[in-house]
Structure 1
Amino acid sequence: MKKHLFFGIIFAAGLAASPVFAQESALSQATEMAQDQEKTKLDPEQLPDPIKATIMNNESLKGLQIKEAWQIVDPSGEAHFKVVFDENGSDLTKKFKADGTEIKE
């Protein structure tokens, strides 16, 4: 009887710990992916003209102030741009390809 109880407790502890190990694995994969990308902070004026045009032609974005702009280059050398807008005190983040196309997530 004690053996069954002991093995039951060990089994339950193993099940309880498995999500912790899974989270650590996912976190390390996300960290590795982030390290493979090169991020460069830009002045909003340095954004490519197609992205500026997309922002100016978008009714919901053209009146917002740009707080931050980043160029992100992945390991293959392809760049996209992350733009953080100030939307009434909260951040609104959009991603764009160099040709001005918005990247929907």
Structure 2
Amino acid sequence: MKEITVKELKSLIDNGTDFQLIDVREPHEADIAAIGGELIPLGTVPQNVDKFAKDKQVVVHCRSGKRSGDAIAWLEANHGFTNLYNLKGGILAWADEIDQRVQKY
């Protein structure tokens, strides 16, 4: 599985790169802390496969990287995606390394 660090993600954002950011956490988690992106909770990924771009880089994140990794593994195995990147360390790493204002939970 391909991974991207929070520093690499910040660079994509800062450079205006055309990519998709997807958050697979639950809505109540996104209310606590968010870094942008489209909210598609892990349990709804099978019903929302069409919302994942196939023509550009897609960064998938969660709190720590576990659920996003599970989502990517499922999408790759069942739908042939090759452009998905797991955010290593998730939003916790973002809060530690990029923006300390993001609340950890």
- Tell me if both proteins adopt one fold, taking TM over 0.5 as the criterion: no
Task: Provide TM-score, normalisation by structure 1.
Answer: 0.22
> Bigger relative contact order, structure 1 or 2, given CA contacts below 8 A and separation 6+?
2
Task: Provide TM-score, normalisation by structure 2.
Answer: 0.22
